Amino acid sequence: MNNPLSIRPSKDIRNNYAQISALTRESPVAITVNGKEDTVIISHEDYQNQQKYISELEAKIAVYAHLAQAMDDIKLGRIQDSDDAFDEILSDLENLDV
C-alpha cells in the first residue's frame, strides 16, 4: 500500500465500482465531493493489516507504560526484595478462603 493515493469523483462509486474496488488493491482511493476529498477507500486486506498494526502498537504502548511505571518505582525507592515479595504473595494465597 505504498502507492500514491488515487482520486476519483463520488459518482464513480456508483458508475464504476468494480474499477474502484480493483484500484483499492493497489493503493487507497480518495473520493471527492464537489472537487474536495471527502472519503478514502482501502481494500479489506489493507484495513485488516492496519487494524492489526494499531493493535500491536497499543500493546507496545501498554508495555512501555508499565516499564515507565517500574522505572519510576525504582527511582522513588518503591522496591522490595524479591524473596520478601514472594513470601508475601504465598502468605496471601494461603490465607484465601476457598
**Maximal C-alpha separation, the chain:** 72
Domain locations in the chain as residue ranges: 6-42, 46-94
Mean pLDDT in residue range 74-91: 94
pTM over 0.85: no
Q: Where are the beta strands (DSSP E) in the chain?
A: 6-9, 29-33, 36-41
Tens of pLDDT, residue by residue over 46-73, are: 999 999 999 999 999 999 999 999 999 9
Rounded CA separation 84/36 (Å)? 65
Cell, residue 90: 504465598
Q: Based on the number of CB atoms within 10 Å of its own CB, is 29 exposed (0-12), middle (13-18) or buried (19 or more)?
A: buried
pLDDT of residue 47: 97
